[in-house]
Amino acid sequence: MTDDNSQDNLTLIRESFALVQDRADKLTGHFYATLFLHNPEVRQFFPPAMDLQRDRLFRALAGAVRMIDRPAELIPFLQQLGRDHRKYGVQNAHYDAVGAALLSTLRSFAGEAWTAAHERAWTEAYRQIAAAMSAAAEEEAGRTPPFWLAEVVGHELRGPDLAVLTLRPNAPFPYRAGQYTTVETARWPKVWRPYSIANAPRRDGLLTLHVRAVPAGWVSNTLVHQTQVGDVLRLGPGRGTMTLPDQLSRRVVCVAGGTGLAPVKALAEEMISRHRPLTLHLFAGARRASDLYDLDGLRQLAAVFPRLLLIPVVSEEIEYAGVQGRLPEVVPAQGHWAEHEVFVAGPDDMVMTMVERFQRGGVPAERLHYDLTTTPQELDITSGLLDTGAHYH
């Protein structure tokens, strides 16, 4: 396509999407009905309950439309989506089925306003999306399995709604400190949720997850309240970009909110064993002192590495004797971080606020490391086969 044609197609896609975006509920219902009617074999890739899935499709479609003119951002995310879809058994023919159902739905809801030009624009856009996803999946298929089986060898409750799980994968599980995996339980087949790995790679291959049960969280409640030693879970490949640079010569500050402590603890272990920074400030925040569920483990790290400066922070307990306040206010007040390497993990809103404060304090973007869960969900144009739901921190 010429540049002019590409711009024309972008205009047509956004123009036609504007015609249907106010009818999200009916549009997604029609899409799934069309997809499953003509391709009943595709139903096996989706969870039994489709209620939440319907909303995710439309949010994903809207996100893709918003980003379609930013290929430098869109293509890497699509490639990651394609790799993540491997664990569902998705094949190239399934992309064709989804594309046909999508075009049929858009055509039906746009009505007389739909033109041959709209059809061509959407066909070409979806062709490029599917090509990026399928090519990335095929490339990774030659290197790793689509998923791993993992036996639960440890399950420790650290509170009424939080558990620390230790898992033994059935084969070597490659990942880097700071990354996450996705988890499926036998109780909720086809429902995958992301959780950060709370330890650096170990010789024995064991993985530790910190899981907080959230309201209406199918997988998180199962992992916290119903999973037992001996149970077997399925794990997706290690993902995420919040990893250590090859050379770590600067001082480091890590900020963890809630179970965002999991990837931060893994990073701290890796730094202590390999890089040994001049100083490592680690802020661990929670609402109440009782929510600081892994202080003993952090103190053990500090005992091994005295240059680890541990600062527990509590935001909603006046009687707490230590540092009080919200992390985005406390951390800037505790030091000048412009020359540090920075890692932030926790709920998305906290992470983004914290990142903005660090940027305001002079930390350049290349030294700010964090992962979010919202962007991949927005881009999942293939109806939400991607992991969605509870935040993994």
- Flag whether pLDDT at 388 surpasses 50: no
Q: What are the tokens at 103?
A: 């075009």
In a domain, 241, yes or no: no
Q: Is residue 133 located within the same domain as residue 164?
A: no
Nearest Cα residue to 25 out of 64, 43, 3, 52: 52
Q: Residue for token digits 């119903």?
A: 226
In a domain, 388, yes or no: no
In a domain, 244, yes or no: no
Let me know: does 340 contact 253? Beta carbons within 8 Å.
Answer: yes
What mean pLDDT value characterizes the chain?
88
- How confident is the model over 221-246, as pLDDT tens digits? 999 999 999 999 999 999 999 999 98
Q: Is residue 54 located within the same domain as residue 122?
A: yes
Residue 15 sits in a domain whose CATH number is 1.10.490.10
Q: Is residue 75 located within the same domain as residue 27?
A: yes
Q: Is residue 126 located within the same domain as residue 30?
A: yes
- How confident is the model over 154-195, as pLDDT tens digits? 999 999 999 999 999 999 999 999 999 999 999 998 888 999
Q: Quote the strand ranges of 197-328, DSSP E.
A: 207-212, 232-235, 252-257, 280-286, 308-314, 323-324
Q: Is residue 260 located within the same domain as residue 196?
A: no
In a domain, 213, yes or no: yes
Domain end among 92, 112, 143: 143
Q: Residue for token digits 């988890």?
A: 183
In a domain, 318, yes or no: yes
Q: Is residue 19 located within the same domain as residue 132?
A: yes
Nearest Cα residue to 354 out of 242, 268, 229: 242
Residue 220 sits in a domain whose CATH number is 2.40.30.10
Domain end among 175, 207, 235: 235
Q: Is residue 286 located within the same domain as residue 357?
A: yes
Domain that holds residue 201: 148-235
Residue 59, SS3 per DSSP: helix
Domain count within the chain = 3
In a domain, 392, yes or no: no
- Flag whether pLDDT at 289 surpasses 90: yes
- How confident is the model over 343-383, as pLDDT tens digits? 999 999 999 999 999 999 999 999 999 998 654 333 333 33
Let me know: does 18 contact 65? Beta carbons within 8 Å.
Answer: no
Provide CB contacts within 8 A for 13, sequence distance 6+. 65, 68, 118, 121, 122, 125
Q: What are the tokens at 333?
A: 């007040």
Which region, left, alpha or beta, applies to residue 362 given φ > 0 means left and ψ of -120 to 50 means alpha? left
In a domain, 265, yes or no: yes
DSSP class of residue 273?
I
- How confident is the model over 51-84, as pLDDT tens digits? 655 666 666 666 677 778 888 888 887 888 888 8
DSSP class of residue 87?
G
In a domain, 344, yes or no: yes
User: Is the pLDDT higher at 110 or at 89?
Assistant: 110
Residue 280 sits in a domain whose CATH number is 3.40.50.80
Q: Is residue 308 located within the same domain as residue 366?
A: yes
Domain end among 109, 143, 177: 143
Q: Is residue 104 located within the same domain as residue 65?
A: yes
Q: Is residue 153 located within the same domain as residue 139?
A: no
Q: Is residue 60 located within the same domain as residue 182?
A: no
Among 76-85, 97-106, 330-339, top mean pLDDT goes to 330-339
Q: Is residue 138 located within the same domain as residue 14?
A: yes
